[in-house]
Homo-oligomer: A and B are copies of this chain.
Amino acid sequence: MPAPVIAAVKDYFALETMIGGYEAEDERAADREAAYDAIASLVNAHRRNIAFASSATHALEAALSSIPFASGDVILTTRNDYVSNQIQYLMLEQRYGVRLERAPDLPEGGVDPAAMAEMIERHRPRLVSVSHVPTNSGLVQDAAAIGAACREHDVLYLLDACQSIGQMPVDVKALGCDFLTTTARKFLRGPRGIGFLYISDRALEQGLTPVSVDSRGAHWVEADRFELVDDARRFENWEFAWSLILGAAAAARYASALGLDRIEKRIRHLAALLRTGLAEIPGVRVLDRGREQCGIVTIAVAGREPRDIVLALRKHRINTQAQRRDSAVIDYDAKGVKGSVRFSPHAFNTEDEVRVAIEALGRVKGEE
């Protein structure tokens, strides 16, 4: 987290401890509202379209539960959607008889946008749901092409931007999505335990409302009647750790000030260096595929468990992340691996650090 993010979290929490939770809410009311603007500005939206959530998954739940699925409704997704999303789709299949369809990949990896467009026309899905960048590889899905197809056929389009937000420009208008879900804690460099949801005017005007609407999103007016608010706040819960929301807003401002174009360029440069260097190490296989690749660099190391590699690298003060097969069963099975080690260089990393990481991996690989 950058210093302004840490300060935003700490300052608000300190204020709560000094004067009380409701009192801090009042004193910082303007800053709390401005947090919506910071997030809206990051994704080229208006504050009326932004809802905070305690995680991307919670945001996804709110979005999914706003669609009254009926038996036979189709959810169209990809072979690289995030594991928690895949589980949610399967749960909707079990619970409501929704039918799950996955569009095929291109030979070079990544979903085939033409096949997806054809399936949109054929299946008329109730929802198209795509992870912009999967958690399990450097692939960037062609989210804008899918969005264009969704708009052409007037189909609801949900984009999970957990791994893309903060590492590249994410423009909800250009992408044509109705929902965008994300956490603040990844490339955006916000705190843990907070995320947000964008909802398009189209979706709001359809009256979509999550089952979980509470006193944030509705006013209880008579014993058996409530009135919904017009904007995205009906996708929120009333209770929030406002310290984390102000931290997320600070992260959005920080990224916007640096410029997402510049951040993206820098990250892709470092990731390319890293992929090239790692690929030269015997026994190391770079797993990333697809026409467009971003800052997530995934590898398999012959004969070694990902978790062992991660713990060994940590001793060298290099932070990576291990994933097992159950993080991405379709992708890892197709690649014939049992998981991966994930590197995620950010714009603040240096070329020297990339070299150090490559060297460390070379050493660690041979250790028992």
| Chain A interface (Cβ < 8 Å from any Cβ of B) | 1, 6, 9-10, 13, 16-17, 19-23, 54-58, 61, 64-65, 68, 83-84, 86-88, 90-93, 95, 100, 102, 183, 185, 191-195, 209, 211-215, 218-226, 237-244, 314, 319, 321, 326-327, 329-330
Contact A192 B241 (CB under 8 A): yes
Contact B88 A212 (CB under 8 A): yes
Contact B54 A58 (CB under 8 A): yes
Contact B192 A87 (CB under 8 A): no
> A341 to chain B: closest CB distance in Å?
12
> Could you list 9 further interchain pairs (A-B, Cβ under 8 angstroms) beyond the known A57-B239, A194-B241?
A23-B319, A55-B237, A58-B239, A65-B65, A84-B237, A88-B212, A90-B225, A192-B239, A193-B243
Contact A56 B215 (CB under 8 A): no
> A45 to chain B: closest CB distance in Å?
22
CA of A186 to CA of B316 in the docked complex: distance in angstroms? 43
Contact B183 A239 (CB under 8 A): yes
Contact A83 B220 (CB under 8 A): yes
- Known A-B contacts A224-B90, A226-B90, A326-B221; the reply to A95 vs B83 at CB < 8 A is no
Q: Which residue of chain B lies nearest to A224 when distances are taken between CB atoms in the complex?
A: B90
Q: Which residue of chain B lies nearest to A223 when distances are taken between CB atoms in the complex?
A: B330
Q: Which residue of chain B lies nearest to A23 when distances are taken between CB atoms in the complex?
A: B319
List chain B residues, Cβ under 8 A from A237: 54-55, 57-58, 84
List chain B residues, Cβ under 8 A from A218: 87
> A333 to chain B: closest CB distance in Å?
8
